[in-house]
Amino acid sequence: MKIENVPFTVTDWARIFPTEHPGALGSSFWKMVETGNVRLRIVEYSPAFTSDHSCPRGHVMLVLAGELLVKLADGSEHMLLPGMSFHASDDEKNPHVVSSPRGARVFIVD
Break the chain into its structural domains and give their ranges: 20-109
CB neighbours of 76 closer than 8 A, spacing ≥ 6? none
> For residue 51, what is the enclosing H or E element?
none
User: Which CATH number is 20-109 given?
Assistant: 2.60.120.10
pLDDT of residue 58: 81
* pLDDT tens by residue, the chain, 110 residues: 778 889 999 999 999 999 999 999 999 999 999 999 999 999 999 999 999 887 777 889 999 999 999 998 888 999 999 999 998 887 777 788 999 999 999 999 98
